[in-house]
């Protein structure tokens, strides 16, 4: 059995605030949600910028779980799929002084979703991977719908110090946080920690049509892989990333030349962006699709980044608009010859690729198509 799978619900929490509209409007504005850290005693710390959700979290509750609940609720309210589906998630672990619990079990209990549950911990590719797993379950007839996504809340001192010890973070930029993260740019030096959540409701197409659901986009393909190169750095020749993306295209039945847009992983780290640019060059050749890199505006959401960036991909298809995510200060790097969207953004969005590349060589990719 092979069925078509569509997206009927979206939910998002980012440093812009709660809700997919606030997120989409923030990205379209080009104004970053990255801010100078205002914690006491951090004025002279190496790490000076952050993209943290401002809304208050109940005492002792996990920030990751709280954001997951908000994004999941929004996606379910938008779709209204019923209770006979499943739940797939990549939820970050609790931070300091936060209570630990099984987040998917708690979310399933709260929402009444009683079907299959899937979880991924595949680093920064986790939520992209789990959306792909949910897509395959629906396509193969194991369930009719799934809510799939991720959440992560590492915007705390421990999270920042951990990433900084790995040499992955931007240092400085307290007086110009909007320039801190520059994916694929000549001046890039690392990523900015962000936090939040994203969830999508995936549904079998005929079921969605029969019940009159609004179809936002179709998901056509998914793939994942692992290069096992190093703990942090990606494989330098990008061969496993190429294999993952090409497998996704084959799964979707889409030729490389038909992909017009990419919502890039684009962390802003020198090695990752260089490897991703090499992957794009090998897969697409001279006909490069245009791309944006939303971590420049919302920070790196760790296990949740692929889910939130998938919300952006679907929204871009639904509104036929791919926003720019870089400012006028951004300068192209000859080592990363990508076709970055600049200015106000571009129309003509029909096929969007969403790759993710995590620590440990974790790779995942999704292919979204206009409905």
> Is the per-residue pLDDT at 233 higher than 90?
no
The span from the CA of 291 to the CA of 274, in Å, is 15
Q: Which of 156, 181, 300, 365 is catalytic?
A: 300
166 and 106 share one domain: yes
Average pLDDT over residues 143-164: 93
258 and 173 share one domain: no
Query: Of 180, 210, 240, which residue is a domain's last?
Result: 210
39-80 pLDDT, tens digit per residue, is 999 988 999 999 999 999 988 889 999 999 999 999 999 999
User: Higher-confidence residue: 326 or 237?
Assistant: 326
Backbone conformation region of residue 57, classed left if phi is above 0, alpha if psi is from -120 to 50, else beta: beta
Please report, for the domain that includes residue 226, its CATH number. Answer: 3.40.47.10
Residue 311 makes CB contacts below 8 A (sequence gap 6+) with 10, 11, 12, 20, 23, 198, 200
pTM over 0.95, yes/no: yes
- Are the C-beta atoms of residues 197 and 70 closer than 8 Å to each other? yes
The span from the CA of 180 to the CA of 34, in Å, is 8
Neighbours of 335 (CB within 10 A): 12
Query: Whole-number mean pLDDT of the chain?
Result: 94
Residue 34 makes CB contacts below 8 A (sequence gap 6+) with 15, 49, 50, 51, 177, 178, 180, 181, 192, 194, 297, 298, 299
Token pair for 358: 């995590």
Please indicate whether residue 369 is annotated as part of the active site: no
> Is the per-residue pLDDT at 361 higher than 90?
no
Phi and psi dihedrals of 349, rounded to 5? -100, 115
Give a yes or no: residue 97 inside a domain. yes
204 and 67 share one domain: yes
Distances (CA, A) of 91 to 33, 173, 353: 22, 29, 23
Query: Of 184, 210, 236, which residue is a domain's last?
Result: 210
When pLDDT is cut at 50, 70 and 90, the band that residue 234 belongs to is: confident
144 and 120 share one domain: yes
The span from the CA of 277 to the CA of 335, in Å, is 8
Pairing label, strands 217-226, 362-369: antiparallel
The span from the CA of 153 to the CA of 63, in Å, is 5
Count how many domains the chain has: 2
Average pLDDT over residues 179-204: 97
**Three-class DSSP category at 3:** coil
Give a yes or no: residue 95 inside a domain. yes
- pLDDT for the residue 2: 86
Distances (CA, A) of 360 to 2, 246, 270, 295, 353: 32, 20, 16, 20, 22
> Is the per-residue pLDDT at 82 higher than 80?
yes
148 and 51 share one domain: yes
Phi and psi dihedrals of 99, rounded to 5? -75, 135
Phi and psi dihedrals of 222, rounded to 5? -155, 150
242 and 200 share one domain: no
Give a yes or no: residue 241 inside a domain. yes
User: Higher-confidence residue: 265 or 100?
Assistant: 265
308 and 178 share one domain: no
Range of the domain at 192: 5-210
Average pLDDT over residues 101-118: 94
**CA 272 to centroid of chain Cα atoms:** 15
Residue 356 makes CB contacts below 8 A (sequence gap 6+) with 124, 125, 127, 128, 129, 265, 305, 306, 309, 362, 363, 364, 365
* DSSP track, 148-170: EEEEEE--SHHHHHHHHHTT-B-
- Are the C-beta atoms of residues 90 and 120 closer than 8 Å to each other? yes
Give a yes or no: residue 282 inside a domain. yes
204 and 60 share one domain: yes
229 and 200 share one domain: no
261 and 167 share one domain: no
162 and 237 share one domain: no
User: Higher-confidence residue: 137 or 361?
Assistant: 137
Query: Which among 343, 351, 304, 307 has a CA at the least distance from the CA of 325?
Result: 343
When pLDDT is cut at 50, 70 and 90, the band that residue 1 belongs to is: low
165 and 232 share one domain: no
Query: Of 170, 188, 210, which residue is a domain's last?
Result: 210
Could you give the residue ranges of the DSSP H alpha helices within the chain? 20-29, 63-79, 103-111, 126-139, 157-165, 205-210, 239-252, 270-284, 295-298, 305-319
Give a yes or no: residue 216 inside a domain. no
The span from the CA of 229 to the CA of 304, in Å, is 23
Average pLDDT over residues 263-285: 96
Please indicate whether residue 265 is annotated as part of the active site: yes
293-318 pLDDT, tens digit per residue, is 999 999 999 999 999 999 999 999 99
Give a yes or no: residue 174 inside a domain. yes
Q: Which of 244, 248, 265, 369 is catalytic?
A: 265
- Are the C-beta atoms of residues 212 and 2 closer than 8 Å to each other? no
Please indicate whether residue 124 is annotated as part of the active site: yes
Give a yes or no: residue 357 inside a domain. yes
Give a yes or no: residue 215 inside a domain. no
Average pLDDT over residues 148-172: 92
> Is the per-residue pLDDT at 232 higher than 70?
no
């Amino acid at each position: 059995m092979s069925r078509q799978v569509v997206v009927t619900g979206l939910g998002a929490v980012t440093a812009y605030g709660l809700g997919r509209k606030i997120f989409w409007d923030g990205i379209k504005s080009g104004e970053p949600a990255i801010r100078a850290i205002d914690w006491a005693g951090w004025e002279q710390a190496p790490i000076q910028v952050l993209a943290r959700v401002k809304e208050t979290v109940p005492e002792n509750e996990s920030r990751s779980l709280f954001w997951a609940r908000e994004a999941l609720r929004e996606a379910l309210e938008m779709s209204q799929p019923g209770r006979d589906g499943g739940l797939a998630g990549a939820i970050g672990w609790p931070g300091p002084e936060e209570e630990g619990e099984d987040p998917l079990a708690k979310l399933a209990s709260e929402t009444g979703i009683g079907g299959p549950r899937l979880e991924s911990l595949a680093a920064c590719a986790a939520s992209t991977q789990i959306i792909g797993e949910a897509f395959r379950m629906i396509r193969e007839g194991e369930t009719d719908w799934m809510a799939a996504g991720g959440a992560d809340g590492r915007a705390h001192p421990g999270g920042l110090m951990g990433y900084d010890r790995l040499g992955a973070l931007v240092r400085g930029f307290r007086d110009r946080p909007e320039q801190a993260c520059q994916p694929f740019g000549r001046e890039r030096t690392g990523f900015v920690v962000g936090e939040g959540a994203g969830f999508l409701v995936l549904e079998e197409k005929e079921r969605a049509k029969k019940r009159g659901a609004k179809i936002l986009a179709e998901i056509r393909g998914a793939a994942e892989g692992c290069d096992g190169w190093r703990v942090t750095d990606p494989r330098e020749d990008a061969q496993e990333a190429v294999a993952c993306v090409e497998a996704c295209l084959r799964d979707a039945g889409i030729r490389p030349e038909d992909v017009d847009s990419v919502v890039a992983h684009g962390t802003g780290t020198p090695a990752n962006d260089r490897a991703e640019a090499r992957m794009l060059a090998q897969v697409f050749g001279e006909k490069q699709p245009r791309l944006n890199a939303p971590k420049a505006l919302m920070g790196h959401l760790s296990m949740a980044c692929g889910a939130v960036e998938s919300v952006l991909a679907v929204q871009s298809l639904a509104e036929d608009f791919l926003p720019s995510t870089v400012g006028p200060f951004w300068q192209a790097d000859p080592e990363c010859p990508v076709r970055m969207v600049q200015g106000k953004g571009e129309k003509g969005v029909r096929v969007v690729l969403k790759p993710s590349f995590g620590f440990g060589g974790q790779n995942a990719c999704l292919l979204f198509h206009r409905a």
